[in-house]
Amino acid sequence: MNSNQTYSIEVNNLTKVFGKFTAVNQISFNVRQGEIFGFLGANGAGKSTTIRMLIAILEPTAGDALVGGYSIRREPDLVKKNIGYMSQKFSLYNDLTVAENIRFFASIYGLDGKRYEERKKWVLKVANLENMEQVITGSLPGGIKQRLALGTAVIHEPKIVFLDEPTSGVDPISRRNFWDLINSLSEGGTTVLVTTHYLDEAEFCNDIILINAGKLVAQGNSKALKTNYIKNPILEIESERTVDSLEILEKETWVGETSIFGNYIHVILNDRSITEQQIVQLLQDKNGIAVRRVEKIIPTLEDVFIHLIEKDSKKNVS
């Protein structure tokens, strides 16, 4: 029935209610085969709950999804068999050796004989653990452990893999290496759905969705997000006193959302007629703060997300 599908994952109005609390609120999105799909949102936004429904370990309150063509409601066992999953806490046993962890995951997926040997070799290679099979997993550095966790999560070569904050808590170099590994899976045709709260990582994804308080607030590729969601101009301002400048700017009615990036301020203008010169006048002439630079910029993903989340929160309050 689904032999001609163009999407690996199709999510329709997926909803999860815990008691009176709606953790995931009618989310719909599609994931193309072989793409890296970024699932972004702050802590508590509903990312893990969504993933747990998509891998068929948590039953939706409403809605459905097709994962690899199988319904998470009607065919949960087939979903589980056909996907790989790496949980937020990784799924490795710290007190087992590397070899024992690999054997454990291989046995879950029924790998044996030659295929098992081949896949074990592959996992050891991607984790940089060749000749270290007997090392206790708990003693490995975080970055290596993560690669081992991903390796074991895809030991059975699933077409779709779910990674729940796989890079949280590791150093930038390990994160970078981990993304190389994600890329190579995608190049091999595997669909990767990955959650993260690192916005820089969103740039490595083909498509992105952003959720806030259980609701989908934006979707598209990085370029579309930057151009479609913020219509007002954004200025980047570099001054002698960043925090004081921010305080002064925020008092103006023509200033929308603001954010600080190191010693730059980003300001979304509510009023298109405001010029760079007026900013300089306000900070420098009126308040005596030397302004080094004011320029119109293309928004960053962070600007977009701050804008959307603030807009969404205001909507929820009123």
Ligand X SMILES: Nc1ncnc2c1ncn2[C@@H]1O[C@H](COP(=O)(O)OP(=O)(O)O)[C@@H](O)[C@H]1O
Question: Which residue type, as a one-letter code, is found at position 313?
Answer: S
Q: How many residues of this chain interact with Mg ion, rule: CB under 5 A?
A: 2
- The binder of 266, among Mg ion, ligand X, none, by C-beta within 5 to 8 A per type, is none
Q: Which one, 21 or 131, has the nearer CB to ligand X?
A: 21
Residue of closest CB approach to Mg ion: 48
Residue 77 CB neighbours (<10 A): 9
Binding mask 39-58 for Mg ion (x = CB under 5 A): --------xx----------
- The binder of 261, among ligand X, Mg ion, none, by C-beta within 5 to 8 A per type, is none
According to DSSP, the β-strands at 207-212 and 36-40 are parallel
Q: Which one, 41 or 68, has the nearer CB to ligand X?
A: 41
For 154, the 3-state DSSP assignment is coil
Strands lying side by side in the sheet with 255-261: 255-261, 264-269, 234-239, 291-297
Q: What's the min distance (Å) between Cβ of 165 and ligand X?
A: 7
Q: What's the min distance (Å) between Cβ of 285 and ligand X?
A: 45
Residue 192 CB partners (closer than 8 Å, separation 6+): 35, 36, 37, 160, 161, 163, 182, 185, 186
Q: What's the min distance (Å) between Cβ of 166 and ligand X?
A: 13
What is the Cα–Cα distance from 50 to 14, expressed in whole angstroms?
Answer: 8
- The binder of 101, among Mg ion, ligand X, none, by C-beta within 5 to 8 A per type, is none
Task: At 186, list the tokens.
Answer: 């995608």
Q: Which one, 23 or 282, has the nearer CB to ligand X?
A: 23
Backbone phi, psi, residue 264, to 5°: -105, 155
Q: What's the min distance (Å) between Cβ of 237 and Mg ion?
A: 34
Q: Which one, 52 or 145, has the nearer CB to Mg ion?
A: 52
Q: Which one, 47 or 175, has the nearer CB to Mg ion?
A: 47
Which residues of the chain form contacts with ligand X (CB under 6 A)?
A: 18, 21, 23, 41, 43-49
Chain Cα centroid distance, residue 7: 19
Chain contacts with Mg ion (rule: CB under 5 A) = 47-48
